[in-house]
A and B are shown apart, each in its own frame.
Chain A
Amino acid sequence: MSEDLHSLSGAYAVDALSDQERADFEVHLDRCESCRDEVDSLRAVTPLLAETVAVTPPPALRADIMAAIRTTRQDPPVVDEPAAEAPAVAEPAVVEPVATAPTEGATVVPLRRRVSRQWAALAAAAALVVGGGVTWQVVEQVTTSAADEVLAAADAQSWQTTTADGGTVRVVRSDQLGKAVLRVEGLADPGSGKAYQAWLQDSSGSMVPAGIMTSTDGEMLLEGDVDGAAGVGLTTEPAAGSPQPTTAPVALIELG
């Protein structure tokens, strides 16, 4: 969601994004002028922050650097190359027309009879096709789950993390559908009378229940307001679930 991307401008300005987040944010920057302006203004703060930690390097470093530049070639400036000269157009070959003389004595079939024969064949084929259509026409009924719709959505985004016991937790969200799916693999057994509960974390940090995951390998559609969610968490809770997390999260995923 674009609102969350806007809030990354400060972190981007001080290089506090992961490589993937940086790539995503730079795509956003290309089409968001207000973020470009904000990043420029916030980035201008960084030289002042550097003033607070200034440390003069050893003199030997200066000597090393000055020696190194004498053997380092500089890159040329980037310039636009002029368009390449168009190649000369090849001379078209002269093709001698081939004269076709009518063949003496060829038997000419009357047009009327030939057309009649063709249409008779076409009519017969059409009858077969129509007959077949009537016989075999079946509309296949396929039920697609909401979770599958999210996973197959053109705008689906996914985030993944690994749990302490080696399991995988993945969130796939479709902004167009306004839904998200939680998929887990290889989680540890939560224990007797317990289950994994999913949470949506809003921008203020509060956790809202988002459903119970009934298996250690599977997927579920997250309940609640996915559009407003800043993160997804997963905890071990009593089998019927809790109104608030009662254990440390098994996984926390921040949605970008």
Chain B
Amino acid sequence: MVDRAPGRGAGEQLADRLRQVAKGDEDAFAALYDETAPRVHGLVLRVLRNPSQSEEVTQEVYLEVWRGASRFDPHKGSAIGWLLTMAHRRAVDRVRSSQSATVRDDSWHARSRDVAFDTTAELATARIEARRVRSALDGLTQVQREAVSLAYLGGYTHTEVASLLDLPLGTAKTRIRDGLIRLRDQLGVTP
């Protein structure tokens, strides 16, 4: 379990670590990695499916974090949001390059199986949070849930989501938006 300073939220603590990383603090970088790597790597793996490619992309993401930590602006969002945006973009870019498209497993149903969890104590908090999020996802309509999952966790564009779910053009993007709005409201998320 990460030692949390009293009175500071996890988000602020992560932002502090990024500020330390920007000054070249390798210990702060290691702590940042330990706190965020399961989410970054898990997201990248979900989009790419291929373990070795996922490790390559995860490494690229963290090197970019190290290189560009000074560019993080806390006024524009959370540290974890900044990190995951970079991770998702890199994973999606890897998918969209023509070379790796053929490597990808395109079966939506095969990917909807739950991913096994690491059972160590350090992830206990994450598992509780994941359960809460899954509960909120269950509160969406099936189409909303599938559209959001395919778009974010699957890395598809909204037109690809429309094709995969056999939806009319334009409907997928509205389902993605509606689904995210309901998740935001149910989970009480603030930017």
For window 136-191 of chain B, which residues contact chain A by CB distance below 8 Å? 137, 148, 151-153, 155-159, 161, 167-174, 176-181, 183-184, 187, 189-191
Question: Cβ of A102 < 8 Å from any Cβ of B?
Answer: no
Which partner residue on chain B sits nearest A78 by CB separation?
B71
Compute how far the CA of A109 lies from the CA of B115 in the bound complex, rounded to whole angstroms: 105
Which partner residue on chain B sits nearest A15 by CB separation?
B88
Question: Cβ of A188 < 8 Å from any Cβ of B?
Answer: no
CB pair A54–B130 under 8 Å, yes or no, is: yes
Q: Number of contacting residues on A, CB 8 A?
A: 56
CB pair B169–A72 under 8 Å, yes or no, is: no
Question: Cβ of A51 < 8 Å from any Cβ of B?
Answer: yes
The stretch among B1-9, B57-65, B101-109 that forms the contact with chain A is B57-65
CB pair B178–A10 under 8 Å, yes or no, is: yes
Contact of B70 among A58, A77, A201 (CB under 8 A): A77
The stretch among A35-43, A123-131, A168-176, A218-226 that forms the contact with chain B is A35-43
Question: Cβ of A45 < 8 Å from any Cβ of B?
Answer: yes
CB pair A50–B43 under 8 Å, yes or no, is: yes
Using an 8 Å CB-CB cutoff, how does the interface string of A50-89 with B read, 1 for contact, 0 for none? 1111111110011011101110111111100000000000
Q: Number of contacting residues on B, CB 8 A?
A: 78
CB pair B191–A40 under 8 Å, yes or no, is: yes
Which partner residue on chain A sits nearest B178 by CB separation?
A10
Interface SS, B side: helix
Give A46 Cβ to nearest chain B Cβ, in Å: 6
CB pair B59–A75 under 8 Å, yes or no, is: no
Give A160 Cβ to nearest chain B Cβ, in Å: 14
Asked if A61 meets B177 with Cβ closer than 8 Å, knowing A43-B85, A54-B42, the reply is no
Compute how far the CA of A205 lies from the CA of B39 in the bound complex, rounded to whole angstroms: 36
CB pair A62–B37 under 8 Å, yes or no, is: yes
Residues on A facing B (Cβ under 8 Å): 4, 7-11, 13-18, 21, 40-58, 61-62, 64-66, 68-70, 72-78, 201, 203-205, 230-231, 252-254
